[in-house]
Structure 1
Amino acid sequence: MRKHRTPEQWQALVNQQRDSGLSASKFCKQENIGYASFCNWRKRLSDQAAGDSADSGEAGFLDLSSLMGAAQSGPGWNIVLSLGNGVELRLSQNG
C-alpha cells in the first residue's frame, strides 16, 4: 500500500537523507521509500526553494569548506567559478 506524504514530510525526508551521509538510493532502501518518488520530490522542493530565494532578493551562499577535504592541513585552495560567456572568476591561495 502506498503512503501519501505531505510536502513537509518529504522535506523532512530530504533533510534526513542529506544529514545521513547515505546516497539517496541507500537511504530510500533503508527507509522503504520509492527512489523515483524521492528524487522527484527532492527536485520539486529544491526548485521551490530556489524560486523562493530568488523572489526574496536575498543572496544565497555555499560554504565551500566542506568541499576542501578534511585531510588538508593548511591553505592551498584554488577555486574557479565559471560565470558563462567565457567569464571566469579565479580564487587562489597557495601555501
Structure 2
Amino acid sequence: MRKHRTPDQWQALVNQQRDSGLSARQFCEQENIGYASFCNWRKRLSDPSADDSAGSGEASFLDLSSLMDTSQSSGPGWNIVLSLGNGVELRLSQNG
C-alpha cells in the first residue's frame, strides 16, 4: 500500500538523503521509497520559482478579454507568450 506523505515529510526525506552520503537511488531502495516520486518531490521542494498555489488544486485564471479589441484599426492585435518551463513556450498571436 502506498504511503502518502506531506511536503514536510518529503523535505525531511530529501534532507536525510543529502546527509546520508547515498545516491538518491540507493537511499530510495534502502528506505523503500519510489525513486521517481522522490526525485519529483526533491525538484519541487528545491525550486524557488514554484508557486504556492500550484499544488493547492486551485486553478488561476487571467482575464484576457481586455486584449480582444473589436476595432480593427487600432493596431496589430495581441501577442501572448506563455513560458511553460524547460525552454518550452506557447505563443498566441492575432493577425490585425
Q: Normalising by the residue count of structure 2, what TM-score does the alignment of the two structures yield?
A: 0.50
Aligned to 2:4, what secondary structure does the other structure show?
coil
State the structure with more CA Rg.
Answer: 2
For structure 1, the 5+ residue unaligned runs are 53-95
Q: How many residues align?
A: 50
Matched to 2:16, the amino acid is: Q
- Corresponding position of 1:82: none
How far did residue 51 of structure 1 move? Answer: 3.5
For structure 2, the 5+ residue unaligned runs are 51-96
1:34 aligned to 2:34? yes
Q: Normalising by the residue count of structure 1, what TM-score does the alignment of the two structures yield?
A: 0.51
Identity across matched positions, percent: 86
What is the CA RMSD across the aligned residues, in angstroms?
Answer: 1.2
Aligned to 1:33, what secondary structure does the other structure show?
coil
1:45 aligned to 2:45? yes
In 1, distance between residues paired with 2:21 and 2:38? 16
In 2, distance between residues paired with 1:3 and 1:51? 27
Matched to 2:22, the amino acid is: L
In 2, distance between residues paired with 1:2 and 1:51? 29
Matched to 2:9, the amino acid is: Q
User: Which 4+ stretches in 1 moved above 6 angstroms?
Assistant: none
- Corresponding position of 2:12: 12
